[in-house]
Amino acid sequence: MALDPLRDRTAWLDVMPDGTRGSSEQSYADGVRLEWDSRERVHHEFPLSDRQRAEYEHGRLGNQRDWVDNVVWGADPIAGIRGMLDGGMLESAGRTTFEGHSMLRLVGSEPGTEENGSPAGPIEYEYLVHPSTFAPVRVSTTLTARAPDEHGQGAERYVTAWTFPVFERLPLDDSTRHLLVAGGGR
């Protein structure tokens, strides 16, 4: 991440339901989110609206559904997480251990909604963060698409988890600029 001017990049491993793997990346610069999918080997550009850009760049909070579209993270993920905690969108659920390290566990949820005429169940959030810096280590979302029946059967849940093996702040200069482009500028 570079703050002046704002540039950031996130990369992750995708594991598809059929077990195939690939990698994806996302970067942001000048009001445009750029995505790269290794399976498609193509860039996709998503210009942000003025409101989304302002929220992203100033770390303002939107609703949690906006976070899924990377709006709530804003320019500083740590400030975004602290803001969600301070604003009551997340609450502390104590400590847990992840990959042998003690983490602060923050949880939140949002109620179900109706989208495109179909009901969508509640979404639960779990953030595992470094206990003193609040740097993100793992973020999970669980969407309940169908609630279990009276016998506890038939539930349909979708879990998405992001793990951040490295969280760094880098200066923006000629030696780091290429690191902040999804797909490495491919």
Of 166, 157, 64, 168, nearest in space to 106 by CA: 64
Candidates 87, 171, 80; CA nearest to 129 is 80
Kindly list the structural domains of the chain, giving each domain's residue range(s) and its CATH number in brackets, ordered by start: 2-185 (2.50.20)
Per-residue pLDDT of the chain (186 residues; tens, 9 = 90+): 555 667 777 776 666 666 677 777 878 888 888 887 777 777 788 898 988 887 776 653 344 344 443 334 455 778 778 888 888 889 999 999 999 999 999 999 887 766 555 556 778 889 999 999 998 888 888 877 766 677 767 767 777 777 787 777 777 788 877 777 766 554
Say if pTM beats, i.e. exceeds, 0.85: no
Measured CA to CA, the distance from residue 73 to residue 60 in angstroms comes to 8
Letter for the amino acid at 34?
A: L
